[in-house]
Amino acid sequence: MTIRTDADALTRQRALLVECARRIFGETPQSSGAESFITYDLVRYEHVRCSWSMSDPVRSRRERPAKPALSRKWIVDSTIQIMRTEGLEKATMRRVAQALDTGPASLYVYVANTTELHAAVLDELLGELPNSASASTAGWRARLEALLHTYAEILFTHPGLARSALVLRPSGPNALALFDAALGLLIEGGIEPARAAWGADVLLQFVTATAAELSAPAPADVIAADEHTRSESLAAAVRSASALTTPHLVANASAVLSGDPTQRFAWTVDALLVGIAVTPTPATHSTAS
């Protein structure tokens, strides 16, 4: 049975409920039957319907924009965005799924785990490397050093990736293209292919390890300090070393501490190139003998 109330109050309540229905369902009931139903529903469940009028109108599914289809590229792009704004350690499967408005289980169709996701991110960023290997304005050595420096810059720009890359062993198409460019330049320089193959691997590992060592620590690291602070701590330890237990270190402390990171990077690349050129691999040595 419908409980009657004051006529004016009931008219206002009916108008309010009709407006709620219009916002929720996208249409306004026109028939007297519909209005009767609304009146009955309003009076009998007034406490429910009135609470609706106090909150934002609920959008129907028809009003919501359709989400784009999930894809590996969309997942990787979203992970890069999170990494750049929040840090790599925050770019977990759960956080990426939240950004994509989906569940973590949906991501596993495209990437096996967080490690593989980070490897895909690194490979995507390697695609930004310029094709310096094919430039003809400089010699092979200068182009190789430029390639390695550019790779290092990517890792320094995204510090977390430098540490992850040490264990990821990237094998995506862009990582393979980077290796191919380094290998091609070594061969162009007259280095025997077997040595060039091992040499390209050593050079890229050196760059990765250097970037991981010198890049900023992750917030979760137990000891977090900037590069200047870490360098000063090392210098203080060397200068205070005991001549009895470390006589060579103490006698050559100035040489040990000399050079800035850029100078040391260039020197190491040169030293590695000289060694790669003259040191046979086991396969090369066996063939020659």
pLDDT of residue 35: 44
Average pLDDT, the chain: 78
Which has more pLDDT, 121 or 283?
A: 121
**Contact residues for 5 (Cβ-Cβ < 8 A; gap 6+):** 13, 43
| Mean pLDDT along residues 64-72 | 73
Q: Is the pLDDT of residue 54 over 60?
A: no
Q: Which residue's structure tokens are 């999170």?
A: 82
Which of 130-139, 205-214, 231-240, 256-265 comes out lowest in average pLDDT?
Answer: 130-139
Q: Is the pLDDT of residue 44 over 80?
A: no
| Mean pLDDT along residues 49-76 | 62
For 105-150, write each residue's pLDDT tens digit.
999 999 988 888 888 999 999 998 877 555 557 899 999 999 999 9
Token digits for 79? 């992970």
Q: Is the pLDDT of residue 47 over 80?
A: no
Given a contact cutoff of 8 angstroms between Cβ atoms, the answer to whether 217 and 223 are in contact is yes
Exposed, middle or buried, 241 (CB in 10 Å: 0-12/13-18/19+)? middle
| Alpha-carbon distances of 230 from 8, 190, 215, rounded to whole Å | 78, 40, 11
Q: Highest-confidence range of 128-132, 137-141, 210-214, 274-278, by mean pLDDT?
A: 274-278
* AA letter at 136: S
| Alpha-carbon distances of 207 from 88, 124, 184, 195, rounded to whole Å | 19, 18, 18, 18
At 170, the pLDDT band (50, 70, 90 cuts) reads confident
Q: Is the pLDDT of residue 6 over 70?
A: no
Q: Is the pLDDT of residue 209 over 80?
A: yes
At 26, the pLDDT band (50, 70, 90 cuts) reads low
Which of 31-40, 122-131, 153-162 comes out lowest in average pLDDT?
Answer: 31-40
Which has more pLDDT, 287 or 94?
A: 94
pLDDT of residue 236: 92
Given a contact cutoff of 8 angstroms between Cβ atoms, the answer to whether 18 and 38 are in contact is yes
pLDDT of residue 40: 40
At 163, the pLDDT band (50, 70, 90 cuts) reads confident
Which of 28-32, 137-141, 172-176, 211-215 comes out lowest in average pLDDT?
Answer: 28-32
Q: Distance between CA atoms of 227 and 217, rounded to whole angstroms?
A: 9
Q: Is the pLDDT of residue 289 over 50?
A: no
Separation of CA 259 from chain center:
32
Query: What's the pTM value of the predicted model, to 2 decimals?
Result: 0.67
| Mean pLDDT along residues 41-49 | 44
